[in-house]
Amino acid sequence: MAFRLPTHELKKGSAELLILALVEIRPRHGYDIGKLIRSRSNGELAFNVASLYPLLYRLERRGWIDGRWTEKAGQRRRRMYKLTPDGRKVLAAQRGGWRSFARAVSRIAGVEI
Amino acid sequence: MDFRQQVRIRIAGLALRPERDTEIVEELAQHLDDAVNERRAAGESLAQAQAAALADLDAPGELERRLAPLEQRPRLVLPPPGAPSRGRWLAAGVTDLRHALRSLRRAPGFSAAVITTLALTIGPATAILSIGNWMFWRPTPGVADAGRLAVVWLGQWRDNGVTISSLSYANLEALHPRLRSFAGFAGVQEGSTSVAVGRLAPVVSGVAAVTGNAFDVLGLRITAGRPIRADDDRMPQGAQVAVLSESLARRAFGDLTAALGKPIALNGRSLEIVGVVDAFRGTQPFTAIDVWYPGATYAYINHLAKPMTRDSAPILYYVARLAPGATFESAQAELDVVVPTLAESDSTGDAKFETVRARLFPGLGPMALQRAGYARLLRDLLLVCGVLLVLGCANVSNLLVAHGLRTRRNRMVRLALGASRARLWQLQLAEGAVLALAGGLAGLAIAQWLKQLVVALMVPGLTAGATPDVPLDWRVLAMTTGVALACGLIATILPAIVAARAAATTIVAGDGSRSVTGARRLRTALAVVQLALSLALVTNAAMLVVSLRHLYSVDLGFDPGGVSVHAFDPARHGYTPELIRVYYDGLMDRLGQAAPGEVALSFRAPFGSGRTMRVQPPDAASTPVEVYANAVSSAYFDVLGIPVRRGRTFTPEEVASRADVAVISARLASRLFGEVDPVGQPVTLPGGGSSPGRPLRVVGVAGDTQWRGITDDPELFLYLPFGDRSIGIREATLLVRSDRPMRDVTARVSAVAAELDPSLPVQFSRPLADGIDRALSDQRVFAWMFSLLGILGFALAAVGLCGLLAQGVGERTREFGVRRALGSTRGAIFALVLRHAGWIGAAGTMLGLAGAYLGSHLIESQLFGITRVEPLVYAAAAGALAITVLAATIWPARAATRIQPTEALRAD
């Protein structure tokens, strides 16, 4: 049975981390990011267009990711997002935060991760 | 399905910047396309896939709600050009300046008009200010603490003038211990003398004889060598030393110290250069002094036959420095008490000090006796320049209002983009400041030329070599900058208010070319003020020009046309009286033979200084009459065209033998003898003290002449034969009447003089009529300046009116078009514009005539032969204004007649 995260806040708080993590290794475009989140969470997590892109723009404005239009032969031009040095620091900090948060939750709630 | 359109609809409410809008639409549409493709690949139908993709976009408004806080800023920070970045005023100032320059470059015609107007108004003001600065306001260069210095003149003061007296060295010695209000009291006699020094050719230069304490009293700084000291200045024979100005030392020797110990020749007399003085060029602005020498050396330099003694008084001009604590009033009070005591002082006992009084004039500067006159002249000229400035400001204001209306849309966009009103004001002030400074700069260039012209009019007859350059120093620059900025500010404020109102009442989409009622009213008022002011100026100028014409046509009692004056100075080159007589006889022989009755010798020439004498009427009991005296050769009356009323003039024999005969003027004749025929009657020159008087026999009565001024009553005149012993022969001028050009006459006289003695040059040659110009210098300055400024004012007003009307026609394009469509003729349209101009002209005329009447108070003292309420002058000036208004109307009115009905439709 599909399990969805219970609260909107939890999803929102984690969404930034997810996106930053996905563009850590290489630049990705918005559709790619949305698809990866859905596929890697086995459909547990999904963003629709109206929430994904505002989130991307917010991260971009904070200077954590950098979106650039790039063109490849035979393809439509796409806006590729890559992690900035600032974003890398934020990602590291958020990972640490999530780790300790998840541990604390699991210890209290007895949930295995 | 085009997802772009779908996305666009969903974010339309955000009103994003176009490029950002496009970006978002593109990116989201692409996402949706990708989603559809994926679903199709998974086997869904196109319709299903598209519906799913659209569902992903959520309900309309959702995307907008989420994007709004991100993409739409609460207040668009997009700065209006020139907005300060984080409030740094310097950066703001620089951007304002750049903005101003850019926006002015975009309107070159407008900028040029404003700058030209400002230059033409600021230029004259700067010229007059620089003259005021030069004469009165700047401290005399090189002098220490000039504020504590005063000029002192001694003389017998009357209501209408003064007979100047001087202090002998004995007088000065007696005076010094009695003057407690003065730290020092020195004599400085400034004049011009021929100077030969170093590598320079001999020229007439400014030279001063000074008492030994003068350098101390003035507080001069010596840059090389030493000053003139008390021990250089001992009567009867002073040291043969001189101090040079830095300027002369550099010109003559290149180096200051190189000048020391070298000789310098004054009137051919050699002196040793002992020092060089820093910056100082004399106590008065009109003559730049280059050489100073001890007063006791005066006799040597000027080849005086008689040696001087302690009772000699070579110096007429005194400079005094106040003692600490003393005031100019206390010093004057002390002089009033102390100077009369010279009459009873044992060593100097001089009867003249019973009537001679000293008068103290605070500060150095122009000749103290003429100071008040110059001050008045300057004040009046400044007032006129002020009027012109107001005129110019009105014009610039007018131009700025028009410019403001043209650029209104630009400003409204700025406001819409979030620029504050204060910023708009700042930008406009920056534009005003840039224009003002540019105008000021151009004005300086005009002033540079105009100031010398005004000085030449104000102080005519300055010796060529010594004509001073009026400095444009930092004071003048500061004043000009102040005037320019004030103009810029005043001219900017009104249009800025109008502009601010305009921006507030009109929306961005509005028509930027429409005027605003307030602005129109203001511009019309400005045009009226301009016309009024320029009319007032021109009316007064016309009065002055008419006066001047009257003055030039006054019957002087002689005819100066074709007469030239040539001066010689053999005495100062060491000639004895006997030799001088031989010299002049030689001149007359050579020149007079060729043209008998056209060459005369005279002690003094008209418009020069007069020599007064006292004449005892036949009735021994009556008081002596003060008269002007002149010693003349027999041809004098012929040359000047002075009629002989009774008797005859001098015979050549009487002149040769210096007989005891006299010719008297008609007024003197009636004063002395009433109805009795004076020919053959005796007159007496009273002797001094107990000595008996000198009897003369009257041989003729000559017509009255104007000697000093033109508007005064003719002077009482006593003529004696040339060379008469009561007058002497040291000074003389040669008067030549000739039809030939002045240049030829001068060449002839110089050639003859060179034949007689090549080392003795002609001092000066000039037309006698020059003297009239000199006598009328005030009137000439006023007439010139008023005319110049009045014409300028008319031109400015015409340009302003033309602009106003042109703008009005532009705004009424639709109206004129409709009128044309309804059958109005071109003539009717022309008349419509003309009527508008007519109303403005009429209002300007009424105000202007009233202004002219008020302004004529100012020039009343300059008027001659015309009253302040001469209707013809007012009518002529008003007529000139009407023509100006008409001229300014033609172009806009013709433009109005050319408007076609079709244009009117297009206009909106």
Its ipTM equals: 0.87
Q: Are B734 and B599 in contact (CB under 8 A)?
A: yes
Chain B residues near residue A54 by CB distance under 8 angstroms: 63, 66-67, 70
What pLDDT, on a 0 to 100 scale, did the predictor assign at position B504? 52
- For residue range B534-555, list pLDDT tens digits in order: 899 889 989 989 988 888 888 8
DSSP H or E stretch at residue B444: helix B421-458
**Do strands B263-266 and B161-165 pair parallel, antiparallel, or not at all (unpaired)?**
unpaired
- Helices and strands counted in chain A (H then E): 4, 3
Chain B residues near residue A57 by CB distance under 8 angstroms: 67, 70-71
Please name the residue of chain B whose CA is at the shortest distance from the CA of residue A61. B70
- For residue range B111-154, list pLDDT tens digits in order: 888 888 888 888 888 888 888 888 888 888 888 888 899 989 88
Q: Are B175 and B157 in contact (CB under 8 A)?
A: no
- Mutate which: B9, B16, B56, vs A, most A CBs within 10 A: B56
> To 10 degrees, what angle do helices B421-458 and B89-105 make?
70
What pLDDT, on a 0 to 100 scale, did the predictor assign at position B718? 92
CA distance B523 to B801: 9
Cβ contacts of B144 within 8 Å, gap of 6 or more: B218, B219, B220, B221
Closest partner residue to A57 (CB to CB) among B26, B32, B70 is B70
**What percent of the residues of chain A are helix, what percent strand, and what percent coil, each to the nearest 5?**
60, 10, 30
Contact A53 B62 (CB under 8 A): no
Closest partner residue to B66 (CB to CB) among A30, A51, A61 is A51
Percent of chain B residues past pLDDT 70, beyond the cut: 91
Q: What angle do CA B875, B876, B877 make, to 5 degrees?
A: 95
C-beta atoms surrounding B191 within 10 Å: 15
SS3 B623: coil
* B154 phi, psi to nearest 5 deg: -115, 145
CA distance B545 to B553: 12
What pLDDT, on a 0 to 100 scale, did the predictor assign at position B701? 94
CA distance A60 to A64: 6
Closest partner residue to A50 (CB to CB) among B23, B26, B66 is B66
Q: Are B317 and B189 in contact (CB under 8 A)?
A: yes
- For residue range B176-215, list pLDDT tens digits in order: 888 888 999 999 988 878 888 888 877 778 899 999 999 9
Question: What is the Cα B525 distance to its own chain's centre?
Answer: 31
Q: Are B56 and B70 in contact (CB under 8 A)?
A: no
DSSP one-letter string for B465-508: GGPPPPP--HHHHHHHHHHHHHHHHHHHHHHHHHHHHHHHHS-T
CA distance B15 to chain A (A): 16
Contact A49 B31 (CB under 8 A): yes
Least confident of B112-121, B375-384, B488-497, B670-679: B488-497
CA distance B715 to B588: 28
Please name the residue of chain B whose CA is at the shortest distance from the CA of residue A80. B27
Alpha helices (H) along B812-868? 813-821, 826-859
B89: pLDDT strictly greater than 70: no
Contact A49 B30 (CB under 8 A): no
Q: Are A52 and B26 in contact (CB under 8 A)?
A: no
- Mutate which: A8, A49, A52, A81, vs B, most B CBs within 10 A: A49
CA distance B92 to B83: 6
What pLDDT, on a 0 to 100 scale, did the predictor assign at position B503? 52
Closest partner residue to A31 (CB to CB) among B34, B58, B67 is B34
Please name the residue of chain B whose CA is at the shortest distance from the CA of residue A34. B31
B338: pLDDT strictly greater than 50: yes
CA distance B567 to B764: 5
DSSP H or E stretch at residue A106: helix A85-109
Question: Residue B454: which of B859, B786, B855, B791 has the closest Cα?
Answer: B786
- For residue range B741-754, list pLDDT tens digits in order: 888 888 888 888 88
Please name the residue of chain B whose CA is at the shortest distance from the CA of residue A48. B56
Please name the residue of chain B whose CA is at the shortest distance from the CA of residue A59. B70
Q: Is the dihedral of CA B654, B656, B662, B663 positive or negative?
A: positive
SS3 B601: strand
CA distance B246 to B899: 70
SS3 B554: coil
Count of A-B CB contacts under 8 Å: 47
Contact A53 B27 (CB under 8 A): yes
Q: Which regions of B202-268 does DSSP assign to beta strands (E)?
A: 203-210, 222-225, 241-245, 263-266
**Do strands B269-277 and B222-225 pair parallel, antiparallel, or not at all (unpaired)?**
antiparallel
Residue A109 in tokens: 């709630």
Q: HEC profile for B351-381?
A: HHHHCCEEEEEECCCCCHHHHHHHHHHHHHH
Query: Tokens 């007088």, residue?
Result: B171
- For residue range B28-80, list pLDDT tens digits in order: 888 888 889 888 998 889 898 888 888 877 655 677 777 877 766 544 445 55
Mean pLDDT for all residues in chain B: 83
Does the pTM surpass 0.80? The reply is: no
Beta bridge partners, A100, equal none
Beta bridge partners, B629, equal B611, B718
Chain B residues near residue A53 by CB distance under 8 angstroms: 24, 27-28, 31, 63, 67
Scored b (16 or more CB within 10 A) or e, B868-906 reads bebeebbeebbebbeebbeebbeebbebbbebeeeebee
- Mutate which: B11, B14, B21, B31, vs A, most A CBs within 10 A: B31
Contact B23 A34 (CB under 8 A): no
CA distance B360 to B179: 13
Closest partner residue to A49 (CB to CB) among B23, B57, B71 is B57
SS3 B575: coil
> To 10 degrees, what angle do helices A30-40 and B18-41 make?
40
For chain A, list residues with pLDDT below 50: 1-7
CA distance B37 to chain A (A): 12
CA distance B65 to A68: 24
B858: pLDDT strictly greater than 90: no
SS3 A77: coil
Q: Are B64 and B13 in contact (CB under 8 A)?
A: yes
What pLDDT, on a 0 to 100 scale, did the predictor assign at position B513? 45
CA distance B40 to B181: 115
SS3 B600: strand
Beta bridge partners, B614, equal B626
| Higher-confidence position of B621 and B616 | B616
Q: pLDDT band for B465, please (50, 70, 90 cuts).
A: very low
CA distance A40 to chain B (A): 17
Percent of chain B residues past pLDDT 90, beyond the cut: 15
Please name the residue of chain A whose CA is at the shortest distance from the CA of residue B68. A54
- For residue range B706-732, list pLDDT tens digits in order: 887 777 778 889 999 998 888 888 778
C-beta atoms surrounding B273 within 10 Å: 25
CA distances B615 to B160, B247, B856, Å, are: 20, 49, 42
Cβ contacts of B42 within 8 Å, gap of 6 or more: none
CA distances A8 to A15, A103, B284, B497, Å, are: 10, 21, 94, 55
Long-range contacts of B72-79 (CB under 8 A, 24+ apart): B72/B14, B72/B15, B72/B16, B75/B418, B76/B417, B76/B418, B77/B418, B78/B417, B78/B418, B79/B419
What pLDDT, on a 0 to 100 scale, did the predictor assign at position B883? 92
Closest partner residue to B28 (CB to CB) among A49, A51, A76 is A49
SS3 A83: strand
B620 burial type by CB count under 10 A (0-12 exposed, 13-18 middle, 19+ buried):
exposed
Q: Are B307 and B236 in contact (CB under 8 A)?
A: yes
CA distance B243 to B224: 10
Contact B31 A53 (CB under 8 A): yes
Contact A54 B67 (CB under 8 A): yes
Chain A residues near residue B34 by CB distance under 8 angstroms: 31
Q: Is the dihedral of CA B389, B391, B392, B397 positive or negative?
A: positive
Closest partner residue to A79 (CB to CB) among B27, B35, B71 is B27
CA distance B432 to B402: 14
Chain B residues near residue A58 by CB distance under 8 angstroms: 70
Contact B24 A53 (CB under 8 A): yes
Cβ contacts of B93 within 8 Å, gap of 6 or more: B430
**Do strands B318-322 and B149-158 pair parallel, antiparallel, or not at all (unpaired)?**
antiparallel
Residue A29 in tokens: 């475009």
Please name the residue of chain B whose CA is at the shortest distance from the CA of residue A62. B70
C-beta atoms surrounding B721 within 10 Å: 27
Closest partner residue to B31 (CB to CB) among A30, A54, A57 is A30
* B270 phi, psi to nearest 5 deg: -90, 135
Closest partner residue to B30 (CB to CB) among A35, A58, A78 is A78
